[in-house]
Structure 1
Amino acid sequence: MSADLLVEAAWVADRLDDPSVRLVDVRDAWEYDAMGHLPGAVSVPFDSFRDADSPDPGTLPGAEAFADLLGEAGISADDTIVAYDDTHGVFAARFVFTALVYGHDDVRLLDGDFSAWRREYETTDSAPDIEPTSYESPGLVADAPIVDREAVAAAIDGGETTLIDTREGWEYEEGHLPGAVRLDWMELVDEETRGVKSTAEIESLLADRGIETDRSQPIVLYCNTSRRLTHTFVVLRSLGFEDVAVYEGSMTEWENADGAIETTDTDE
Structure 2
Amino acid sequence: MCRGQETFKHRLEDVRDKELENLIVDDKHGIIYCYIPKDEPYPDPVSISPDLVHLPNTLPLLNSFPRPEMKAKLKHYTKFLYVRDPFLRLISAYRNKFRQHNEYFYQQYGRHILRLYANQPDPPQSVDEANASGMRVSFQNFIQYLLDPLTERKEPFEPHWRQMHRQCHPCLIKYDFVGHQETLQQDTSQLLKILMLQDDIQFPPSYENMTTPAFLLDWFSAVPLEDRRKLYELYEEDFRMFGYKRPRELLDG
Comparing both chains, which one has the higher relative contact order based on Cα–Cα distances under 8 Å and sequence gaps of 6 or more? 2
Structure (1/2) with the larger strand percentage: 1
Structure (1/2) with the larger helix percentage: 2
- Asked if TM exceeds 0.5, the reply is no
TM-score by length of 1: 0.24
